[in-house]
Structure 1
Amino acid sequence: MSARFLWARLMHQFKIDFVSDVSCPWCAIGLAALEQALARVQDDIAASLHCQPFELNPAMAPGGQDITAHLSQKYGSTAEQQAQIRVTIRQRGADVGFEFNADGRGRIYNTFDAHRLLHWAGVEQPDLQLPLKRALLVACHRDRQAMDQPSVLLEAVRLAGLEVVRAREVLERAEFSQEVREAEQLYTSSGIQSVPAVIINDRHLISGGQPVAVFEQALRQIAAEGAAG
């Protein structure tokens, strides 16, 4: 038996579903931290990472809503409290190499079309789904773009290296709407109420935008439990 074959057998194979919303700043932090953790464990764990949909505000009207008013209405937080949270978010982002706009998102938008494009990428060009997710997160949280505007979404498609013409067809034809709705229902019916939610091999859940070290420890623990089993 070759050493190469032994190495392949010893590698732990993880399917990771990253359930999140483009408009969620903690999802940007969590994705960057998870990818760094996966880089740390790559000698022991081979992972396929899939972006899955979750809408924090599925009923958001076109044009969105002022973020301060939205958070005050939804969570009862004051502008001062929100400003302090933004400081924390910017620092956590800096720790994992993600840049947040100092003034926050400005407005919050409906993200259903963004999720449709992410689903499309996962089906037709899966290697480019993560680059699209990163481009959408940057557009939202660094560049304060209107995430319900086709021009913004198509620019993220272009930056990710996907086919803009095909993406425009997806938007105009409302493709993958049913698939996204079904996926969202699957996760909410499974008890997912907040994001990011990291689901490993359909069995293990890691909740929240955790630091790199926390993700790494969890990944290694799950691998060790699998080996023991």
Structure 2
Amino acid sequence: MSKQPLRIDIVSDVVCPWCIIGYKRLEQALASLGEEVEAEIHWHPFELNRQMPEGGENLRTHLAEKYGTTLEGSIKARANLTQMGAELGFRFDYFDEMRMYNTFKAHQLLHFARLQGKESELKLRLFSAFFGERKAVDETEVLVAEGVSVGLDEAQCREVLTSGRYADAVREEQDRWIQAGVRAVPTFVFNGEQGVSGAYDSEALVELIRSL
């Protein structure tokens, strides 16, 4: 039986814990499907915090102001996410002074990585850098180092980030998805038709993909 081609568009942000959980569950689903599909994944930008200033904001303060999250709720959520991540092979390292960042620069570097065939590698690297390695993913030098770690050219990464060469392209792509109705991430779109938002469990994703 020949594999069926499957295009998967993922709209996400690298500071969104549910985005990496959703992706890891998608990986499980695709592994379960085995020889049934030939998946081709395309990442797309979404900023959770467009107005966040450089340097970010304490994560707990940010969540309390944006969503009304209490300290007790934050502690419980972090414990749940850490456990879910561990079960999926991803490490969350939450700490008291953890900060939330704007990711516009990160998305510009990801756009460049896409052109070099390295977008998935850099996307996953940035998830780990932010959630597992306590790195400030709004800092140019941090982003350059992560780009180099996946095989991108250091000078080109720095030029992309300092010149803003892809800033307009990223904004336009973000706005297209918003205009298409994306209001929450992760959002997965299968074969350009069936879209779902949220970190669905792997069994539900298998069922959905088989129904296409």
State the TM-score, normalizing by the size of structure 2: 0.95
Instruction: Give 1:36's aligned residue.
Output: 28
* Aligned-pair CA distance for 1:39: 2.4
The separation in 2 between residues aligned to 1:104 and 1:65, in whole angstroms, is 12
Aligned to 1:79: 71
Instruction: Look up the equivalent residue of 2:87 and give its one-letter code.
Output: D
Q: Distance in 2 between matches of 1:136 and 1:107?
A: 15
**Paired residue for 2:152, among 140, 157, 162?**
162
Deviation at 1:214, TM superposition (A): 2.1
2:17 paired residue among 25, 33, 53? 25
Taking the aligned partners of 1:221 and 1:162, their CA distance within structure 2 comes to 38
The 5-angstrom pairing of residues 34-73 of structure 1 reads 34-73=26-65
Give me the TM-score of the superposition, normalised by structure 1: 0.88
The Cα shift of 1:170 comes to 0.7
| Corresponding position: 1:146 with 2:136 | yes
Unaligned 5+ segments in structure 2 are: none
| Secondary structure of 1:209 counterpart | coil
Match 2:125 to one of 130, 135, 142: 135
Asked if 1:190 is matched to 2:187, the reply is no
Match for residue 172 of structure 1? 162
Task: Report which stretch shifted further, 202-211 or 176-185.
Answer: 202-211
Regions of 4+ moved over 4 Å: none
1:206, CA displacement in angstroms? 2.2
C-alpha contact (below 8 Å) 1:198/1:205 kept by paired residues: yes
Does the CA-based 8 Å contact 2:94-2:131 persist in structure 1? no
Amino-acid identity (%): 37
Q: Residue 220 of structure 1 corresponds to which residue in structure 2?
A: 210
Q: Is the 8 A contact 1:86 1:104 kept in 2?
A: no
3-state SS in 2 of match to 1:42: helix
- Cα distance in 2 for partners of 1:215, 1:175 equals 36
Q: Note if contact 2:8-2:40 (Cα within 8 Å) is conserved in structure 1.
A: yes
CA–CA distance in structure 2, aligned partners of residues 144 and 25 of structure 1: 14
Letter in 1 for 2:182: I
Give how far 1:148 is off.
0.7
Aligned partners of 1:120 and 1:176 also within 8 Å: yes
Partner of 2:135, secondary structure, is: coil
Give the RMSD, CA atoms, in angstroms.
Answer: 1.4
Deviation at 1:54, TM superposition (A): 0.4
Report the secondary structure of 2:35's partner residue: coil
**1:16 aligned partner, one-letter code:** I
Pairs aligned (count): 212
**Rg larger for:** 1
